[in-house]
């Protein structure tokens, strides 16, 4: 049986999986439902963090421990969770002829382990009350589904009125069986050959206890409203989501500006020929960047009249000049003071982004090119100072060669990333998701930490 390669992976990483899972869950949650998102530690918590953020719901961990038969620990006769919750499979107890003393000893040990793990991950914060609420139990994937099954049972025992199990990937048989313990099961991908959950991720690196604790702290209401230990209000830039008219000299250009609360930087999108601020691909990438705490500005480089002239569409110097002016407008906004700026360019827009990044006085921290034509920036390439990431599809042969040649002319920090099997527009399953993840990591690494 052939193993899956990186190009077959569906999710870039757990954050990408969480964002996509959250979009699916929007339709599963009613407007009047009180939702609590529960991540299964460790790997389920980064996925749950994104779900909770998008749904604007509290995030918590659900710590459960299997009660294993003493002489056959892999066989569970029940489970325990916080709040004294106890789920027992009496059939297994009878089958294995366990005595009360044996079950009590196992239960006492595992209850202590639940308390220890919960304290380690949650700190001094109390668990979120589930009484009468909809509990969305989230993991990064299910193979056998044993832990997910117990988590759903524990969530219901803690008072949840409705239990939804949400996972990015799982085996069809397991997903079907989990509908016995959950009111609804949401799974984005059910491959016939699961092999292992990690196979379906490009990055499935281990999540640490420290990372889980940090995500829970960041998701806590006090952490969103205050800046750390002294309880003082933050001075982070306020969030915004609005249509704007950008002053670009002789013309005013329409755009869409989205800036999350406390954004760590703003990425300006530079579309390619024949596209606009409404590009679905750029809007998807922008959404991923917003999820990572970065602001985005999608705007039209040309007016409708100018765009009718194909000469303007391929006038890289003109497009770069507009971009420089837009960057100046952005820096002049009071809320944007001190925020680093990045460019995300596609096709000919990538050439304009690099050209503008080479202009004296244009302070740009990072550039990402998606299927770009950096070669069209010509003699400006050696003058680029911004850290530059070139993303090209592995099946986009001509453009890949042009990018390799252009990278040789760059004198700044640069990296060429090839998305296996992708063509020029990254229309293949998972290709655009890979682009978004690569761009997110590049910008968060060069514009500052995510909010």
Comparing CA positions, the residue from 424, 426, 350, 342 lying closest to residue 381 is: 350
Report domain 6-228's class: alpha beta
Predicted local confidence at residue 249, as pLDDT: 77
Predicted local confidence at residue 122, as pLDDT: 87
Over residues 95-143, the pLDDT tens digits come to: 989 898 888 888 888 888 888 888 889 887 888 889 899 999 999 999 8
Predicted local confidence at residue 2, as pLDDT: 34
Give the helix ranges, DSSP H, for 30-145.
44-55, 90-96, 100-122
Tell me the two tokens of residue 427: 């229309």
Give the contacts of 35 (CB within 8 A, at least 6 positions apart): 29, 55, 57, 58, 133, 134, 135, 136
Comparing CA positions, the residue from 223, 210, 43, 37 lying closest to residue 120 is: 210
CATH topology of 6-228 equal to that of 240-447? yes
Element (H, E) at 77: strand 72-81
Predicted local confidence at residue 448, as pLDDT: 60
Across the chain, which has 451 residues, the per-10-residue mean pLDDT values are 46 90 86 90 93 92 87 81 78 88 88 86 85 95 85 89 96 93 95 88 89 88 42 50 81 87 91 78 88 91 78 87 91 85 94 94 92 93 96 95 96 95 90 93 79 34
Q: What is the pTM of this model?
A: 0.50
Q: Which fold has domain 240-447?
A: Rossmann fold (3.40.50)
Predicted local confidence at residue 112, as pLDDT: 87
Comparing CA positions, the residue from 386, 397, 402 lying closest to residue 443 is: 386
Predicted local confidence at residue 449, as pLDDT: 45
Predicted local confidence at residue 377, as pLDDT: 94
Predicted local confidence at residue 413, as pLDDT: 95
Domain segments of the chain as ranges: 6-228, 240-447
């Amino acid at each position: 049986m052939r193993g899956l390669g990186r190009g077959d992976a569906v999710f870039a990483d757990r954050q990408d999986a969480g964002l996509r899972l959250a979009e699916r869950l929007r339709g599963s949650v009613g407007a009047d439902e009180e939702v609590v998102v529960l991540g299964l530690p460790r790997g389920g918590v980064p996925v749950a963090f994104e779900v909770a953020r998008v749904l604007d719901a509290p995030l918590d961990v659900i710590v459960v421990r299997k009660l294993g038969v003493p002489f056959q620990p892999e066989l569970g006769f029940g489970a325990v969770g916080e709040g004294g919750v106890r789920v027992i499979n009496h059939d297994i107890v009878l089958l294995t002829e366990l005595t009360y003393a044996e079950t009590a000893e196992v239960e006492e040990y595992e209850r202590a382990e639940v308390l220890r793990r919960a304290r380690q991950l949650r700190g001094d914060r109390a668990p979120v009350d589930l009484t009468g609420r909809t509990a969305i139990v989230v993991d990064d994937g299910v193979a056998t589904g044993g832990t997910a099954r117990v988590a759903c049972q524990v969530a219901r025992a803690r008072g949840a009125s409705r239990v939804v199990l949400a996972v990015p990937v799982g085996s069809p048989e397991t997903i079907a069986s989990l509908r016995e313990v959950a009111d609804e099961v949401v799974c984005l991908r059910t491959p016939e050959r699961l092999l292992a959950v990690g196979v379906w991720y490009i990055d499935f690196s281990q999540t640490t206890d420290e990372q889980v604790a940090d995500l829970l702290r960041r998701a806590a209401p006090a952490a969103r409203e205050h800046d750390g230990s002294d309880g003082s209000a933050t001075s982070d830039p306020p969030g915004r989501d609005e249509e704007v008219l950008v002053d670009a000299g002789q013309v005013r250009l329409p755009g869409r500006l989205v800036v999350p609360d406390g954004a760590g930087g703003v990425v300006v999108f530079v579309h390619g020929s024949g596209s606009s601020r409404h590009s679905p691909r750029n809007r998807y990438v922008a959404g991923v960047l917003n999820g990572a705490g970065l602001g985005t500005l999608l705007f039209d480089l040309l007016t409708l009249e100018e765009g009718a002239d194909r000469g303007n569409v391929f006038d890289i110097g003109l497009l770069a000049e507009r971009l420089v002016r837009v960057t100046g407008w952005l820096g002049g906004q009071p809320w944007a003071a001190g925020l680093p700026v990045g460019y995300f360019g596609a096709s000919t827009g990538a050439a304009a982004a690099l050209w503008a990044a080479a202009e004296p006085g244009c302070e740009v921290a990072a550039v990402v090119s998606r299927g770009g034509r950096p070669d069209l920036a010509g003699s400006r390439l050696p003058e680029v100072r911004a850290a530059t990431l070139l993303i090209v599809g592995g099946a986009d042969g001509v453009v890949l060669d042009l990018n390799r040649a252009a990278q040789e002319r760059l004198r700044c920090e640069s990296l060429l990333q090839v998305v296996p099997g992708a063509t020029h527009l990254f229309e293949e399953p998972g290709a655009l998701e890979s682009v978004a993840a690569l761009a997110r990591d590049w910008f968060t690494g060069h514009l500052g930490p995510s909010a």
